[in-house]
Amino acid sequence: MRWNLISPEWPSLPFREWESTCDTLHMWTEIVGKTRLTLTPLENHFWNVTLHVTPRGLQTPPIPFRHAGPETFEVEFDFLAHKLAVRTSEFREWSTGLYPRSVADFYAEYMAGLRGLGIEVNLHRTPDEFDDKTPFDKDQHHASYDAGHVESFRRILINADRIFRQFRSRFIGKCSPVHFFWGSFDLAVSRFNGRRNASLPADADPLTREGHSHEVISCGFWPGDRRFPDPAFYAYTVPEPAGLDREPSTAAFWNQQLGEFILKYDDARAAASPEQAILDFCQSTYEAGAKLAGWDRAALERQP
């Protein structure tokens, strides 16, 4: 493999090299994401809680609150200037730097910054979808921030966001935005066929019950975790149709533990055209799931 030919637009991001920074950043995005969760009304599949990719990093859409009157505010992770900024609709702003410091320190300063803008919010301080349940205000051990790795993560998110938007444009049925879930720490886009998910267990947790209420095929990117310590693109179908694990998929393999198709990021970035490799992965895994699950593709897909 001739790594010297790989475009700098697709930087390396080995999970083990930035694992501590990734964990810290994960907790920081959860704190901001839970602000949106607390102050916005529930939308289908928890679309109201996500962050969106910007040229500079990750940002919330407008969040409503009341101060002197009805206002909105937004929160942005700026991974170029390495700062967090909160801006209100009434021209007030607060910001703080992103640098190596604990989750507890970040949480305390962020909450004080919100209060200074007249934004009152009571967050659930226990992390979700993360293997360490230390409350944010007690977490002194996640305290890493490697700016170089964060900048690489930003560039990958920008590329993935652009490609997923192109893939999304091929579908005219119900489809999610391309958005970043802070709990699972991944960028995703999901297609739905309109049918209720009849396989949903009666005792499913609230997150699963809302997220998988309808039949869905999703694809996304995440930087890896301790179960699978490699950045990768993934795809899954819910409910999973029989035989999905035996379907061929372009440049991908089926991971039995995760129950998903996987295209390793390093394999994608080494391809002659990374963009085409990722698009082919999204399309082939979607076609595999839609075929086996009996989706009405003629009614759901945009014809060329």
pLDDT per residue as tens digits for the range 115-159: 999 999 999 999 999 999 999 999 999 999 999 999 999 999 999
Could you say which of 138, 164, 194 is where a domain stops?
Answer: 138
Tokens of 107: 């949480």
Give the closest residue to 232 by CA, choosing from 254, 210, 211.
254
Which residue, of 138, 168, 185, is where some domain finishes? 138
End-to-end CA distance of the chain: 35
Amino acid at 125: R
Domain final position from 138, 159, 184? 138
Give the range of the structural domain holding residue 88, as residue numbers without chain letter. Answer: 13-138
Instruction: Kindly state whether residues 158 and 122 are assigned to the same domain.
Output: no
Q: How far apart are CA 244 and CA 290, in angstroms?
A: 10
Kindly state whether residue 5 falls inside one of the protein's structural domains. Answer: no
Q: Is 6 a domain residue? A: no
Instruction: Look up the pTM and report it.
Output: 0.95
Asked if residue 277 and residue 191 are part of one domain, the reply reads yes
In this structure, the answer to whether residues 130 and 157 fall within a common structural domain is no
Q: Judge if 174 and 116 occupy the same domain.
A: no
Domain membership flag for residue 8: no
Q: Are residues 131 and 179 in the same domain?
A: no
Domain co-membership, 92 together with 202: no
Instruction: Select the more confidently predicted residue: 69 or 226.
Output: 226
Residues 152 and 24 in one domain: no
Question: What whole-number percentage of the chain has pLDDT above 90?
Answer: 92
| pLDDT at residue 68 in the model | 67
H/E stretch holding 205 reads none
For residue 3, pLDDT beyond 50: no
Q: Which residue has the tokens 């997923």?
A: 164
Which has more pLDDT, 3 or 58? 58
Q: Are residues 155 and 285 in the same domain?
A: yes
d(CA 44, CA 123): 21
Q: How many domains, the chain?
A: 2
Measure the CA–CA gap between 298 and 304, rounded to whole angstroms. 12
* Residue 275 forms part of a structural domain: yes
Q: Identify the band that residue 202 occupies on the pLDDT scale cut at 50, 70 and 90.
A: confident
Q: Is residue 90 in some structural domain?
A: yes
**Are 169 and 134 in a shared domain?**
no
Q: What whole-number distance in Å separates Cα of residue 50 and Cα of residue 94?
A: 21
Q: Taking 70 as the threshold, does the pLDDT of residue 290 lie above it?
A: yes
In a domain, 231, yes or no: yes
**Residue 208 host element (H or E):** helix 206-211
- In a domain, residue 3? The reply is no
Residue 270 counted as domain residue: yes
